[in-house]
Structure 1
């Protein structure tokens, strides 16, 4: 186990080309789960937990780690399974998501594997809308389930997803309905949060479940003689996505003369280990850590008001 912990610390800065590393772990049963090493700060033997009155039942307690107090969530309970027992023999994966640090209680941590995003697939159709999976893959002929952690965190500790009214000026409210914003994100809860912010401003929203689906759509527009950069003043893309990640999507856009003028914002929960050099390397125009509705709204509004193209006239103009 010490080797796995050391590997986590060494590899959290992994930046690949459509590649990722997964830390594999188990919960209550034999099913294998995975989490992107980018999200992992460290792995610990489960420390002593202090109960937190009034908290969700998923929060087994808080732990004092390296000078901070961190909530510890039972991933087994969070996904509708029995609670993890014998805590003194279990492990906690310390992660950073959406500018928050939390620990995930798991039964055991196994190994780190290197994967290609092309081998990571969306959950099978027919699994419904209430599951906690964001993707699946295979390792040694065993199914690996990748949990939608953003969905779990949104249910255990909801974030404020309301945008401030004073950001929406009469001018932008008048003009926004004529503009479409493109979103690519494999997390249902993340797409919902982003769309809510943009729709509140008044924009139309076009959503895609992963980078490949978004890229195929852009190529289809080109084939129809439509300029994607003119149709969509902004593309807001996640980084972690099955089949094609946000880095690769951005690089593909910049490499295509008919797509290269698109304005791309990488919107990611990888706040703790976010690699600014990689964002610059692939050619993204901006990035934002999830989920900050006012900052997202302001970024989009600034882009629209400063894009330098003729916008539809406001009511009474002309």
Structure 2
């Protein structure tokens, strides 16, 4: 498996073409689950664990990998399916990087990597019992594969402080943007909630879309209505990975449209920073924000809006 994960360069060619690769695994049963390969650093046998006092119930312990201490999360337990029953000497972990942190997920076993198109990735059905922890589903070999909302899992283990101080907000800018629209696009309800908590105090009208296709259709609808979108809509903040249409393809479609191409589009994702900086240039985003740092989100959004409105930088 490590050989399959070794070449990032080949996979970057998929992005911008509305494609992705999924790592398939199980949690001790027949149901298959998946996460995006771009989040995965390596797959390995579970090293020796150190138990830590007062740890979260779903954290089995910590291990040491390449000079850093990495928490090992029982993913089955974390999505409320009960603890994974596995012989730790034969257990598998998936080492990942999300939101600038490294963590490992204990799983029942890893199957393979599959190459897919984002339009084959669908939102979870409304009646899905595990929908609370899913961002999407897909079908592979006539079987349903559930794609886990890892951001929600991590937010429950280590909640973010979302209430920023008044000093974090730019009063001069807020007077200029009050009542204007900002479109946030993300398939994770947790991520949308986090962004709302940070952005709502700025006084903007926050509009949600839950994948790139939904956002694109909304923009097309506004065009048909004859709205002055470029005047009303201050900014689009979009996730990279989403069902049906990803954030890169959404940006590409916006840049192709003469009526929309001047819109400010910001990529907001937990994917690798260096990778995304390259993709920002490739598809024409105006900037890149790493998930999830509330203070940095507020600061960078306000900085970019000042640039858009030709205001001088805020005095610190």
TM-score by length of 2: 0.93
In structure 1, the residue matched to 2:314 is none
- Partner SS, residue 76 of structure 1: helix
The CA RMSD over aligned residues, in Å, is: 1.8
In structure 1, the residue matched to 2:149 is 148
Q: Once superposed, which parts of structure 1, at least 4 consecutive aligned residues long, lie more than 6 Å away?
A: none
Which whole-Å CA distance do the structure 2 matches of 1:222 and 1:140 have between them?
A: 40
- Partner SS, residue 110 of structure 1: strand
TM-score by length of 1: 0.92
In structure 1, the residue matched to 2:57 is 57
In structure 2, the residue matched to 1:7 is 4
> Residues 91 and 105 of structure 1 are in contact (CA less than 8 Å); yes or no, is this contact kept in structure 2?
yes
Listed as ranges, the matches of 1:272-283 within 5 Å are 274-283=275-284
How far does the alpha carbon of each residue in 1:65-102 deviate from its partner, in whole angstroms, 9 at most, with x for none?
Answer: 11111000000000111322211111110000001100
> Residues 276 and 288 of structure 2 are in contact (CA less than 8 Å); yes or no, is this contact kept in structure 1?
no
In structure 2, the residue matched to 1:117 is 118
How far does residue 172 in structure 1 lie from its aligned partner after superposition? 3.0
Q: Figure out how many residues of one structure are paired with residues of the other and give that number.
A: 307
> Residues 187 and 211 of structure 2 are in contact (CA less than 8 Å); yes or no, is this contact kept in structure 1?
yes
How far does the alpha carbon of each residue in 1:34-82 deviate from its partner, in whole angstroms, 9 at most, with x for none?
Answer: 1100000011101111111101110000001111110000000001113
> Residues 198 and 204 of structure 1 are in contact (CA less than 8 Å); yes or no, is this contact kept in structure 2?
no
In structure 2, the residue matched to 1:314 is none
> Residues 12 and 38 of structure 1 are in contact (CA less than 8 Å); yes or no, is this contact kept in structure 2?
no
> Residues 268 and 291 of structure 2 are in contact (CA less than 8 Å); yes or no, is this contact kept in structure 1?
yes
In structure 2, the residue matched to 1:315 is none
How far does residue 297 in structure 1 lie from its aligned partner after superposition? 1.2
Which whole-Å CA distance do the structure 2 matches of 1:28 and 1:282 have between them?
A: 40
How far does residue 174 in structure 1 lie from its aligned partner after superposition? 3.2
Which whole-Å CA distance do the structure 1 matches of 2:111 and 2:63 have between them?
A: 23
How far does residue 273 in structure 1 lie from its aligned partner after superposition? 5.7
How far does the alpha carbon of each residue in 1:85-134 deviate from its partner, in whole angstroms, 9 at most, with x for none?
Answer: 21111111000000110000001001000000000000002337962000
In structure 2, the residue matched to 1:36 is 36
In structure 2, the residue matched to 1:89 is 90
In structure 2, the residue matched to 1:316 is none
Which whole-Å CA distance do the structure 1 matches of 2:93 and 2:272 have between them?
A: 20
Farther off after superposition, 113-122 or 268-277: 268-277
Change (3 A) 1:186 1:251: same
> Residues 34 and 146 of structure 2 are in contact (CA less than 8 Å); yes or no, is this contact kept in structure 1?
yes
Which whole-Å CA distance do the structure 2 matches of 1:190 and 1:162 have between them?
A: 15
Listed as ranges, the matches of 1:126-205 within 5 Å are 126-127=127-128, 131-205=132-206
In structure 2, the residue matched to 1:287 is 288
In structure 2, the residue matched to 1:102 is 103
How far does the alpha carbon of each residue in 1:159-179 deviate from its partner, in whole angstroms, 9 at most, with x for none?
Answer: 222334213233234344321
Change (3 A) 1:200 1:129: farther
